[in-house]
Amino acid sequence: MQIKNRLTPFFENITFDREDNEMILNFGPQHPSAHGQLRLMLHLQQEMIVKAHPDIGYLHRGMEKMAENMIYNEFMPTTDRMDYIASSSNNYGFALAVEKLIGLEVPRRAKVIRMMLLEINRLMSHIFWLATTALDIGAMTVFLFAFREREYLMDIIEGYCGARLTHAAIRIGGVPLDIQDSFIAQLKSFLDKLPANIKDYEDLLDTNRIWLMRMEEVGAISKEMALSWGCTGPMLRASGVAWDIRKEEPYELYDEVEFKVPYSDKGDNFARYKVFMQEMRESAKILYQTIDMYKECVKNNQTELMAHAPKYVSAPKIDIMTQNYSLMQHFVLVTQGMRPPVGEVYVATESPKGELGFYINSQGGPYPYRLKVRAPSFWHAGVLTDLLPGHYIPDVVSIIGTTNIVFGEVDR
């Protein structure tokens, strides 16, 4: 049945054994500690990596193309699927970009709720990072402890928006819902326990010989390298640049809250671990303050959750149900979508992974003319090219762990 001459042998263009005694090792794309679909082609001299070639794209879904063919509100749930460990931060990055494009001012109560969601997402992401990285190194206990804590946070989020992973909890112009009655009590009881939990993790890891051997002075990124490779977030802060967008270019109410920006000048795995742990504490600090801010909003009777901009944002449900004009407006916004003004905008927010930027070029139509997502993990995967050479095979796992890459975001 098989027609002989039509079959051309297909070999991947790789030699496994070469004259210079260099072996090429394929790491992934199905490696459990690659945190997703990462394929690394590693050139090895004995056990040492002399050249690394990360290969990505196994999770590419063409989100930028999808965005060009969707109305703005339709794209919101799609953004969930980028950094699916902390999906509200993607929702927020997109919402803020569109709001800046339109020039919307979000009501204060919505801002407070957004900040709560963002910081809960940051905690979820960092706890997840700690769990998976510790598991890769072999610390199974930390993994179980950390997943337990993450579960509490997911329950709180589930109570808010009904979803645990893909939240779609933020809208362009505000938030769709007020927080539920039990939200603050649950959050508070979680936050009260958090310092003890973080101490548990640190007690297990900080002086652990194996952990130190795998972390200290492994995967050191210099300041110049981090800047040149476009590293942001904890990756950059661990390399000695105290740059946090929440602090430097504050959005929402981050200029009203008190928090520190932890950084280290070591740049190695251990520095990144420390930065992540410290950031969890800072997030908790911010969350305590947002609880007070929320209570103040309730006291001052600031009940608005969505911006008032009839051209772009639907009226509250009660108006839609009772007023003819609001219903018509809502109908147009749902079927045709909003038409932002002609212009372009690049807005960066500090997602748990780093700088999450949305570049939107609008030509006045209901679809963005061009939408580019600047996902931090993309460059944190790229930096492996220069970071891995000189390290040994087991280091690859710990380095991938501390770079905290998520492939939904790398490939988009």
Q: Is 14 in the site for another protein (CB under 8 A)?
A: no
Q: Is 345 in the site for another protein (CB under 8 A)?
A: yes
- Within 13 A of 160's CA, how many CA atoms are on the CB side? 29
Q: Is 243 in the site for another protein (CB under 8 A)?
A: yes
User: Minimum CB separation from another protein for residue 238, in Å?
Assistant: 15
Q: Is 62 in the site for another protein (CB under 8 A)?
A: yes
Q: Is 2 in the site for another protein (CB under 8 A)?
A: yes
Residues 171-200 that bind another protein (CB under 8 A): none
Q: Is 251 in the site for another protein (CB under 8 A)?
A: no
d(CA 154, CA 167): 10
* Interface pick for another protein out of 15, 344, 392, 394 (rule CB under 8 A): 344
* Three-state secondary structure call for residue 365: coil
Q: Choose the stretch contacting another protein; rule: CB under 8 A; options: 112-120, 153-161, 211-219, 377-385.
A: 377-385
**Cα angle value 202/207/211 (rounded, 5°):** 85
Please confirm whether the linkage preceding 195 is cis (ω < 30° from 0). Answer: no
Q: How far is CA 343 from the centre of its chain?
A: 27
Closest CA to 298 of 109, 106, 107: 109
Q: Is 336 in the site for another protein (CB under 8 A)?
A: yes
Q: Is 285 in the site for another protein (CB under 8 A)?
A: no
Q: Choose the stretch contacting another protein; rule: CB under 8 A; options: 21-29, 263-271, 286-294, 379-387.
A: 379-387
Which contiguous run of DSSP H or E holds residue 145?
helix 140-161
Residues 81-110 that bind another protein (CB under 8 A): 100-101, 103
User: Minimum CB separation from another protein for residue 188, in Å?
Assistant: 34
Q: Is 222 in the site for another protein (CB under 8 A)?
A: no
Q: Choose the stretch contacting another protein; rule: CB under 8 A; options: 59-67, 152-160, 207-215, 277-285.
A: 59-67
Residues 100-159 that bind another protein (CB under 8 A): 100-101, 103
d(CA 40, CA 17): 17
Report DSSP state, residue 218: S
Query: Binding pattern to another protein, positions 357-376, x when CB under 8 A?
Result: x-x-xxxxxxx-xx-x-x--
Q: Is 281 in the site for another protein (CB under 8 A)?
A: no
* Interface pick for another protein out of 192, 248, 265, 292 (rule CB under 8 A): 248
Q: Choose the stretch contacting another protein; rule: CB under 8 A; options: 25-33, 105-113, 322-330, 336-344.
A: 336-344
Q: Is 382 in the site for another protein (CB under 8 A)?
A: yes
Q: Is 304 in the site for another protein (CB under 8 A)?
A: no
Closest CA to 174 of 235, 259, 91, 81: 91
> What sign has the CA pseudo-torsion 120, 77, 351, 215?
positive
> What sign has the CA pseudo-torsion 176, 97, 376, 280?
negative
User: Minimum CB separation from another protein for residue 29, in Å?
Assistant: 12
Q: Choose the stretch contacting another protein; rule: CB under 8 A; options: 187-195, 261-269, 279-287, 333-341.
A: 333-341
Q: Is 355 in the site for another protein (CB under 8 A)?
A: yes
Q: Which amino acid is at 161?
A: C
**For another protein, the closer CB: 3 or 318:** 3
Angle, helices 269-299/183-205, rounded to nearest 10 degrees: 160
Q: Is 51 in the site for another protein (CB under 8 A)?
A: no
Q: Is 24 in the site for another protein (CB under 8 A)?
A: no
> What sign has the CA pseudo-torsion 205, 142, 350, 56?
positive
* Three-state secondary structure call for residue 214: helix
CB burial of 195-229 (b: ≥16 within 10 Å; e: otherwise) equals eebbeebeeebeebeebeebbeebbbbeeeebbeb
**For another protein, the closer CB: 166 or 363:** 363
Parallel, antiparallel, or unpaired for β 370-374 and 354-362? antiparallel
**For another protein, the closer CB: 200 or 386:** 386
CA separation, residue 40 to residues 197, 266, 368, 390, 394 (Å): 35, 25, 34, 15, 13
Closest CA to 138 of 197, 202, 211, 34: 211
User: Minimum CB separation from another protein for residue 41, in Å?
Assistant: 12
Residues that bind another protein (CB under 8 A): 1-3, 6-7, 56-57, 60, 62, 64-65, 68-70, 100-101, 103, 225, 227-230, 241, 243, 248-249, 336, 339, 341-348, 355, 357, 359, 361-367, 369-370, 372, 374, 378-379, 382-383, 385-386, 411-412
